[in-house]
Amino acid sequence: MSRNGTSASNARLDVRKTYKMLIGGAFVRSESGRALDVEAPGGKWLGHVCRASRKDFRNSVVAARKAADGWAGTSAYLKGQILYRAAEMLEGRASGFRDVLQSIGLSLPAAKAEVSAAVDLLVYYAGWSDKYLQIFGSVNPVSSPHFNFSVTEPMGVVAYIAGEKRPLLDLVSGIAPIVVGGNAVIALSTGRSAVAAMELGEVLATSDIPHGVINLLCGLREELVGQMSSHMDVNALVVQGGDEKEHTASREACALNLKRFFPREANGRGDEDPYRILDTMEIKTTWHPIGG
Amino acid sequence: MTETKNPTKGSNWSYAPSPESSDHFKLKDQYGLFIGGKFVPAASGKRFSTINPATEKVLAHVADAGEKDVDKAVRAARTAYEKVWRKMSGRERGKYLYRIARIIQERSRELAVVESMDGGKPIRESRDLDVPLATAHFFYHAGWADKLPYAFPGKAVRPIGVAGQIIPWNFPLLMVAWKVAPALACGNTVVLKPAETTPLTALLFAEICQEAGLPDGVFNCITGAGSTGAALVKHPGLNKVAFTGSTDVGKAIQKSLAGRTTKLTLELGGKAANIIFEDAAIDQAVEGIINGIFFNQGHVCCAGSRLLVQESVEKEVVAKLKARMAHLIVGDPLDKNTDIGAINSKAQCDRIQDYLKVGQEEGAELFQTNCPIPDKGYFIRPSFFTKVAQSHRIVQEEIFGPVLAIQSFRTLNEALEKANNTPYGLSGGVWTDKGAKIFKVTRGIRAGVIWANTFNKFDPASPFGGYKESGYGREGGRHGLRPYVELS
Amino acid sequence: MSPSIVTSNKLNLQSHPVDEVGIRERVARLATRSIKKASKVEGLKLALSMVDLTTLEGADTPGKVRQLCTKAIHLHSGRKDLPMVAAVCVYPTMVRIARKTLEGTPIQVAAVATAFPSGMNPLAVKLEDTRYAVAEGAHEIDMVISRGDFLRGDYGRVADEIEQVKEACGKVHLKVILETGELGTLDRVRLASDIAMQSGADFIKTSTGKIQPAATPEVVLVMLLAISDFYRKTGKKIGMKPAGGIANAKAALNLLIMVREILGPAWLTPDLFRIGASKLPNDMLMQLEKERTGVYQGQDYFSND
């Protein structure tokens, strides 16, 4: 991120990055114009990130819904290619991400491990795109003369709140299984993680991911969790971290449109799990007669 | 209507030759065997040449592997297996396969052109089908490498060891992908023997393995003829043999492995029936016949080489087939407009010509288009036989060329009977607009792959393989992993 | 309204189903034909000679139509080897000025009629519209079918209307617009094609160009196959006109490839194949110029009208 301090008269001043959110494929500031300060654990000021508003979330849902059908209809092969491309792009920016993670408090070994794990996780889920249906779908041996088969289908638009323990990995581990299944996602990062999240936005924007499939917001969890739980055009909510009280309130709000609710542990156990893909899928069963 | 200056009698506008350029890469004059990560000459120093069947010109010389070379290759594969590959995590193994997939994409045009030059298939096919599918096979299997327990619930999964793989000349690079991708994904190492007449893309694939940094010995490629293949199969260092080719050779291999515990999968010949019902989308069904038997010069094990057409639409289908065949262009494989390229070798060309004679002698009626064909190289015009009997050799035996046998049927059961009346069982096609009929027919045909309202569709996620004398074992999909793992 | 029983009894609407995936695959394969050098030049010139240069705007004026007709005659003064387009296509009230401007040239004047583009007027009005255009001097009439009646299943009425419009045309040649973008499925496109041909159409035409999708390669292929079957059954050669959405020279050449391989060389003439377009000729001219000079062209060097 940026550097403080004055420069000597001949030294070059660096051009600092502005952190914007990714909504509908475009990099935007919050429509509310508000910002949040980000500080390193020692207290050093690092910069500003956007403070997403309910309207930003609303706009993200619109963008996600617009993209959802097209993404669901994309072939499994292409989805896998796109996620693999995201891994390539992230790998290519590994040193930059290590710097970012260090600036927000991770040690170098921890930063290295986290970036590698994030790349590998993208590759892992890319590899599931054209296989999970062979595990979770079925042809069912019904007793009547019908061909009967069950397939998975994405729910549509999924909202995700990332935890704060692993700035990059909490975000990637949440998003990847959601989108590989064909859903569009709006993901919220909070605290210092927001910086890593916004950098990830730049990786995703260069990965051939269609606009609106992945939307990245940053802001305050307590401000947005209610909106994410109650929005009538969101099909599922996945949250990492959060206490009993928050989960209960979310579940109640989700009941408004029967939103499916999935809590994930804050410690990030079980990142590699194809059942996370299944969580945000419906199952559709079709019958057809076998005869002349 | 008032007079116009323009001709009212139509126009003879046609397509000028549109040759694919081949000047953006250079083939080496000679290639060695690829053993232990390096190209080396055969121990005997022997070589043979590979030619372009469209021009009969020599493309390159390749090494002729003898028993010593086979042994060296199997040992290299064994060392790589024990020291490196079986110890590596699935995740890292998968990454090598992803790299290979990417490099195939990067070198795709070069591979497509070499494939057409070495084997005779039209550039449009190698460009649009063979190379992209080969890429897709590596992408698909790369993703399985670290997920195998999910493919076999309740089982502990281990690799088998060293696999010997022998592939044919009809889809040279694609067959490399079909064999090598699952083998490597499951943790095995490979010794591959490409067909005698089409070694080049397998050798370029070996280069790609080097570019991907694949550990030495994980993939080995030994070029040679039938004797090289036999030597490979005999080698006691193999845990598994996979063979795609003729049924006769497949039987010989099964026999020679009889006393051993070596696992075996075979993908052999076929004589598929393409069944057209009166309620089919007829124009699309006719295109399906064309796809089934004329593309790739009919060199397809799962070719729809028998047409079973419901008698009520027989006349219409045959008339439309003739009209459609008239637009098939037979010619230079490197011309982007060519539909049917060169027959792979003189031997195969002679064999097909022989069947054309046999068919007529048996009493069937031959129709061939009268399109122009080049005067050099091995070319055959698309053909079909009518007035055939089920017992005719041209109906019972696999011709492996652009020759179709046409029979009629009256009822669904009769069609099924005819379709199944063969020792083969690789594939079949059914054309009808009625869904229920599709499922009844697919249930009734004794074959491993059934195409309904389509034909010759392949995907790495879709298992492929035969019943009966078309072989056993499946390639592709979750089922295609089974032959390459040890379960306990 | 009760279906027209008499006419629907005469119709033979039994045809084979159309498989959409198969059609798309055939379209894709036909589009891989590579047209280069001499065959590209010949193809582009052939396609140019088949264009119906079109203006169908509420804002059309005699001046606008005069300009269009002038462009039709003089596509590009820089070359002397270019054919003229086949026809111009205008609204009935513009037929007279078009005829006058095109006098002495072989370029035909086609008029849209029958309450184009919607067709949502009583039959009497639509027939009057037709007769007026014919009286004004139109060489060809492009009519629209009643999509509402068609979608309701009243094929007899649809056929009946076409027959009556044909009668109102007299000797003038009739193109029947199916408005394929509103029909929904390729099976329906086939059905509408059969109805039109059996009712006297000289040409079947894809679209009005006023809605999307217009002339997709898929509907063109289905209509060409319908014409092929009709010819096989009756010996009568019906013409085909895709209109709207033919974006560039490559698309035009792809159409010629389809006509050649589905119907054969006999149909490669403006008497049996037209392309309805307004901006298309300039792209074809740019391609022709590129073939001649070896250099890619820019828009500034070709007149817009």
ipTM score for this prediction: 0.92
Contact A135 B95 (CB under 8 A): no
CA dist B230 and B226 (Å) reads: 6
All residues of chain A having their beta carbon less than 8 Å from the beta carbon of residue B106 are: none
Distance CA B426, CA B244 (A): 12
- B331-384 pLDDT, tens per residue? 999 999 999 999 999 999 999 999 999 999 999 999 999 999 999 999 999 999
* pLDDT computed for residue B42 by the predictor: 97
Q: Cβ distance B120 to B53 under 8 Å?
A: yes
Q: Is A166 in contact with A268 (CB distance < 8 Å)?
A: yes
CA closest to B282 among chain C residues: C16
User: What mean pLDDT do residues C271-283 have?
Assistant: 94
C residues 52-81 lying closer than 8 A (beta carbon) to B: none
At residue B6, does pLDDT exceed 50? no
Residues B30-268+468-487, CATH architecture: 3-Layer(aba) Sandwich (3.40)
Q: Do B13 and C256 touch (CB under 8 A)?
A: yes
Cβ pair C17:B281 closer than 8 A: yes
Q: How far apart are CA B144 and CA B477, in angstroms?
A: 10
Q: Is C275 on the interface with B (CB under 8 A)?
A: no
Residue A132 within any structural domain of the chain: yes
Give the end-to-end CA distance of chain B in Å, rounded to a whole number. Answer: 81
CB of B108 within 8 Å of any CB in chain C?
A: no
In terms of Cβ atoms closer than 10 Å to its own Cβ (0-12, 13-18, 19+), residue A284 is: exposed
Residue B34: C-alpha distances to residues B200, B204, B323 (Å)? 12, 10, 48
Residues of C in contact with B3 (CB under 8 A): 106
Domain ranges in chain B are 30-268+468-487, 273-452
Structure tokens at B445: 């045909």
Residue A11 lies in a domain: no
Per-residue pLDDT band for B308 (boundaries 50, 70, 90) equals very high
- Taking contacts as CB-CB distances below 8 angstroms, the residues of chain B near C256 are 13
Is position C177 within any domain? yes
Report angle CA A201, A91, B147 to the nearest 5 degrees: 100
Contact (CB, 8 A) for B19 and B334: yes
Would you tell me which residues 109-128 of chain C have a C-beta closer than 8 angstroms to some C-beta of chain B? none
pLDDT digits (tens, 9 = 90+) for A32-69: 999 999 999 999 999 999 999 999 999 999 999 999 99
Q: Do C35 and B9 touch (CB under 8 A)?
A: no
Tell me which residue of C38, C86, C26, C82 sits closest to C273, measured CA to CA.
C86
Minimal Cα distance from C222: which residue of B? B283
Alpha-carbon distance C1 to nearest alpha carbon in chain B (angstroms): 33
* B210-265 pLDDT tens trace: 999 999 999 999 999 999 999 999 999 999 999 999 999 999 999 999 999 999 99
List of chains touching C (3+ CB pairs within 8 A): B
SS3 letters for B309-369? EEHHHHHHHHHHHHHHHCCCCECCCCECCCCECCCCCHHHHHHHHHHHHHHHHHCCEEEEC
Cβ neighbourhood burial of B58 (10 Å; 0-12, 13-18, 19+): exposed
Number of structural domains chain C divides into: 1
Q: Are B291 and B305 in contact (CB under 8 A)?
A: no
How far apart (Å, rounded) are the C-alpha atoms in residues B86 and B158? 9
Do the Cβ atoms of B16 and C106 come within 8 Å?
no
Domain residues for the domain of A202 are: 21-286
CA distance A31 to C181: 40
For a pLDDT cut of 90, what percent of chain C falls above it? Answer: 89
Among A75, A79, A84, which would you mutate to test the B interface (most chain B Cβ atoms within 10 Å of its Cβ)?
Answer: A84
Q: Would A2 be classed as within a structural domain?
A: no
- A292 falls within a domain: no
The pLDDT value given to residue C305: 74
Alpha-carbon torsion angle C281, C284, C290, C296, nearest 10: 80
A10 domain-assigned: no
Side chain identity at residue B296, one-letter code = N
Q: What mean pLDDT, rounded, does chain B reach?
A: 96
Choose, out of C14, C15, C16, the residue to mutate when testing the contact with B (most B CBs < 10 Å): C16
Q: How far apart are CA A36 and CA A194, in angstroms?
A: 10
Q: Is the pLDDT of residue B438 over 60?
A: yes
pLDDT at A183: 98
User: Which band of pLDDT confidence, cut at 50, 70 and 90, is reported for residue C301?
Assistant: confident
**Is pLDDT above 50 for B1?**
no
How far apart (Å, rounded) are the C-alpha atoms in residues C123 and B33? 80
Which residue in the set B5, B8, B337 is minimally distant from C33, CB to CB? B337
Which of B180, B182, B201 lies closest to B192, judged by CA?
B180
Q: Report the C-alpha gap between B320 and B337 in whole angstroms.
A: 21
Q: Which of A132, A133, A134, A272 to mutate to test the interface with B (most CBs of B within 10 A)?
A: A134
Q: How far is A285 from chain B (nearest CA, A)?
A: 16
Confidence (pLDDT) at C10: 81
C174 inside domain: yes
What is the 3-state secondary structure of B71-138? Answer: HHHHHHHHHHHHHHHCCCCHHHHHHHHHHHHHHHHHCHHHHHHHHHHHHCCCHHHHHHHHHHHHHHHH
Work out the pLDDT band at C7, boundaries 50, 70, 90: low
- For residue C2, the distance in angstroms to the closest alpha carbon of chain B comes to 31
Q: Which two tokens stand for residue A144?
A: 């009547």
> Residue C9's pLDDT band (boundaries 50, 70, 90)?
low
| Sign of torsion over alpha carbons C267, C269, C270, C275 | positive
d(CA A181, CA A260): 15
Determine the residue among A82, A88, A123, A151 to mutate to test chain B binding: the one whose Cβ has the most chain B Cβ atoms within 10 Å.
A123
Per the structure, the count of domains in chain A is: 1
In a domain, A137, yes or no: yes
A and C make contact (3+ CB pairs below 8 Å): no
Nearest-CB residue to A292 (from B142, B143, B437):
B437
Which of C237, C226, C247, C253 has the alpha carbon at shortest distance from C37?
C253
To the question of domain B273-452 being in CATH 3.90.1170.50, the answer is: no
Cβ neighbours of residue C6 closer than 8 Å, sequence gap 6 or more? C156
Distance between CA atoms of B337 and C30, rounded to whole angstroms?
10
pLDDT at C8: 57
Residues 5-24 of C with CB under 8 A from B: 16-19, 21-23
Of C84, C139, C256, the CB nearest to B2: C139
The domain in which residue C93 lies consists of 35-295
In this structure, are residues B39 and B59 in contact, taking their beta carbons and an 8 Å threshold?
Answer: no
In a domain, C21, yes or no: no
Residues in chain C: 305
Residue ranges in chain A modelled with pLDDT below 50: 1-2
Q: How far apart are the first and last CA of chain C?
A: 46
Among residues 437-466 of chain B, which lie with CB inside 8 Å of chain C?
Answer: 453-454
Length of chain B (residues): 488
Of B5, B13, B319, the CB nearest to C43: B13
One-letter amino acid at B392 equals H
AA letter at C195: I
pLDDT at residue number B3:
35
How crowded is the C-beta side of A123, counted as CA atoms within 13 Å? 28
pLDDT digits (tens, 9 = 90+) for B379-416: 999 999 999 999 999 999 999 999 999 999 999 999 99
On the question of pLDDT at B463 being above 70, the answer is yes
Q: What is the CATH number of the domain that holds C106?
A: 3.20.20.70
For the segment B48-101, what is each residue's pLDDT rounded down to a tens digit?
Answer: 999 999 999 999 999 999 999 999 999 999 999 999 999 999 999 999 999 999
Tokens, residue C68: 């269009």
CB spacing of B143 vs A80 below 8 angstroms: yes
pTM across the whole model: 0.94
Sorted by sequence, the CB contacts under 8 Å of residue C54 that are 6+ apart come out as C88, C89, C90, C209, C243, C276, C277, C278
In this structure, what CATH number is given to the domain that contains residue A68? 3.40.605.10
* DSSP codes, C226-292: HHHHHHHHH----EEE-BS---SHHHHHHHHHHHHHHT-GGG-STTTB-EEESSHHHHHHHHHHHHH
CA distance C262 to chain B (A): 8
Q: Is B132 in the A-facing interface, judged by CB distances under 8 Å?
A: no
State mean pLDDT over C129-153. 97
Cβ neighbours of residue B218 closer than 8 Å, sequence gap 6 or more: B77, B80, B81, B84, B85, B96, B184, B189, B190, B209
Share of chain B above pLDDT 90, in %: 97
Q: How far is C3 from A152, CA to CA, in rounded Å?
A: 45
**Is residue B488 within 8 Å of B158, Cβ to Cβ?**
yes
C84 touches chain B (CB under 8 A): yes
Residue type, B251: K
Q: 3-state DSSP: chain A helix, strand, coil percent, rounded to 5? A: 45, 20, 35
Smallest CA–CA distance, residue A277 to chain B, in Å, is: 14
Chain A CB contacts of B145 below 8 Å: 127
For A2, A8, A30, A204, the CA distances from A17, given in Å and listed in that order, are 7, 21, 16, 17
**Could you give the 3-state DSSP secondary structure of residue C65?**
helix
What is the C-alpha separation between A227 and A219, in angstroms, rounded? 13
Q: What is the pLDDT of residue C186?
A: 98
Work out the number of other CB atoms within 10 angstroms of the CB of residue C104. Answer: 7
Paired tokens of A254: 């989700």
